[in-house]
Amino acid sequence: MTTAAIILAAGRGERAGGELPKQWCMLAGRPVVAYALDAFRRAGLAPILLVIRPEDTPRARALLSEAVETVSGGETRAQSVRNGLEALAGRGIERVLIHDGARPLVSAALIARVREGLEHAPGAAPALPVSDALWLGAEGRVEAAVPRAGLFRAQTPQGFDYAAIRAAHRRQSEDAADDVEIALAAGLDVRIVEGDEDNIKLTWPVDFARAERIIGGAAMDVRAGSGYDVHRFGPGEAVTLCGVTIAHERALEGHSDADVGMHALTDAIYGALAEGDIGRHFPPGEERWKNAASDIFLEHAAARMRARGFALTSADVTLICETPKIAPHAEAMRRRLAAILDVETSRVSVKATTSEGLGFTGRKEGIAAMASVTLVAQ
């Protein structure tokens, strides 16, 4: 019995964001798509077709071996599958397993279950029963409860009799969520085999951290970041430091509210995520940041951190100035920063030092701030 595999890697990965399509991003040190390729190779399937966008050919080359060849994908998932199926024509293929390259954690046992299912029906695919309650909702409100009995969450690889699924795909030109949908439209009998909770599809940025946790290689993925900022004194009556406004005989100059402490902390978070700095996310020339409260910068960095699947475990800010005196305000600053970051105050430190009259801070020309953070993958 000749069973081929088609691994799809021609999507754009728009929901996952990032500079590269998700299937080429690194996951615990290897490109995402390498995991599925290995799993199907080890299962002894041949040939294995990797469906890619033509411009990704150089990226794919490093992963290819005698058993793996590439085919160009199409505009939709279904078109990519069709291109793969047609490329297998005339090669004596009897069965085919079609898999999302964005599911790197497919196990040998799951592949075996799908193949076993194909002994009994022209289609077999893994799925898990829905266990959470289901709602229909819109605009943040629940509109109705949906009965979940008999509902399944579909996964891949989905296995089929080769001639039957090729005929089904030839009959349908629209896109579909998966190949079972196309098989059903053609009247094929598809058997459900037990899916695997770990066989997740990388869809959103946060899924990468989850997959790395499952792989185990990144159970202790800790990131550290540091930030530094300076603002000069100018005329005025108050300064805002770490979100707290303090009466002072000078003010800090800057495009926003010049909160040097909050800027250093924000940059430390961007640094830990390797996502540049405030200037990259909030270009300084733009009118709308003029006199803006710096909360928006810190909130943005914290939102990026959460979207990437990280939690802040510690933040430490040091303000460097002769005046004003920071100690009486340090507690309020810690509380304010913790509230913006949505963490316990005990994880946030604010301290200060003078520079013994030396340098620009010693001459009271301005205030400098340093910050460091640690983030841990959730």
- Shortest-Cβ-distance residue relative to ligand CTP: 11
Which residue in the block uniquely carries the two structure tokens 């996964």? 155
CA 151 to CA 15: how far, in whole Å? Answer: 25
Query: Among the candidate windows 71-79, 158-166, 190-198, 357-365, which touches ligand CTP by CB under 6 A?
Result: 71-79
Residues 6 or more apart whose Cβ sits within 8 Å of residue 286: none
Cα distances from 43 to residues 14, 67, 161, 273, in angstroms, run 30, 12, 18, 37
Query: Among the candidate windows 13-21, 209-217, 329-337, 339-347, which touches ligand CTP by CB under 6 A?
Result: 13-21
Q: Where are the alpha helices (DSSP H) in the chain?
A: 32-42, 57-61, 77-87, 108-117, 162-171, 179-185, 205-215, 260-273, 278-281, 295-307, 327-341, 359-362
Amino acid at 63: L
157 binds ligand CTP (CB under 6 A): no
The residue (of 10 and 241) whose beta carbon lies closer to ligand CTP is 10
The residue (of 101 and 366) whose beta carbon lies closer to ligand CTP is 101
351 binds ligand CTP (CB under 6 A): no
298 binds ligand CTP (CB under 6 A): no
101 binds ligand CTP (CB under 6 A): yes
Task: Quote the least distance from Cβ 12 to ligand CTP, whole Å.
Answer: 5
77 binds ligand CTP (CB under 6 A): yes
Query: Among the candidate windows 9-17, 114-122, 213-221, 314-322, which touches ligand CTP by CB under 6 A?
Result: 9-17
Site for ligand CTP in 186-205 (CB under 6 A): 201, 203
The residue (of 53 and 263) whose beta carbon lies closer to ligand CTP is 53
Which of 92, 48, 90, 55 lies closest to 72 in space, CA to CA? Answer: 55
The residue (of 198 and 277) whose beta carbon lies closer to ligand CTP is 198
**Position among 24, 27, 39, 73 found at the interface with ligand CTP (CB under 6 A):** 73
Cα distances from 79 to residues 82, 92, 97, 171, 373, in angstroms, run 5, 22, 16, 12, 46
CA 353 to CA 316: how far, in whole Å? Answer: 13
Task: Quote the least distance from Cβ 255 to ligand CTP, whole Å.
Answer: 35
51 binds ligand CTP (CB under 6 A): yes
CA 126 to CA 135: how far, in whole Å? Answer: 24
CA 125 to CA 216: how far, in whole Å? Answer: 27
Beta bridge partners of 268: none
Which residue in the block uniquely carries the two structure tokens 């909160």? 259
Answer yes or no: are the C-beta atoms of 314 and 373 closer than 8 Å: yes
Please provide residue 106's backbone torsions phi and psi, each rounded to the nearest 5 degrees: -65, 130
**Position among 8, 110, 262, 377 found at the interface with ligand CTP (CB under 6 A):** 8
15 binds ligand CTP (CB under 6 A): yes
Task: Quote the least distance from Cβ 73 to ligand CTP, whole Å.
Answer: 4
182 binds ligand CTP (CB under 6 A): no
Which SS3 state, helix, strand or coil, does residue 311 take? strand
Q: Site mask, ligand CTP, residues 78-97, x = CB under 6 A? A: --x-----------------
The residue (of 23 and 374) whose beta carbon lies closer to ligand CTP is 23
Answer yes or no: are the C-beta atoms of 289 and 282 closer than 8 Å: yes
**Position among 5, 6, 11, 244 found at the interface with ligand CTP (CB under 6 A):** 11
Beta bridge partners of 58: none
**Position among 4, 5, 6, 9 found at the interface with ligand CTP (CB under 6 A):** 9
The residue (of 172 and 323) whose beta carbon lies closer to ligand CTP is 172
Query: Among the candidate windows 8-16, 130-138, 342-350, 352-360, which touches ligand CTP by CB under 6 A?
Result: 8-16
Task: Quote the least distance from Cβ 172 to ligand CTP, whole Å.
Answer: 15
123 binds ligand CTP (CB under 6 A): no
CA 24 to CA 37: how far, in whole Å? Answer: 13
Query: 302 in the Ramachandran plot: left (φ > 0), alpha (ψ -120 to 50) or beta?
Result: alpha
| Residues of this chain that bind ligand CTP (CB under 6 A) | 8-16, 21, 23, 51, 73-77, 80, 100-102, 201, 203
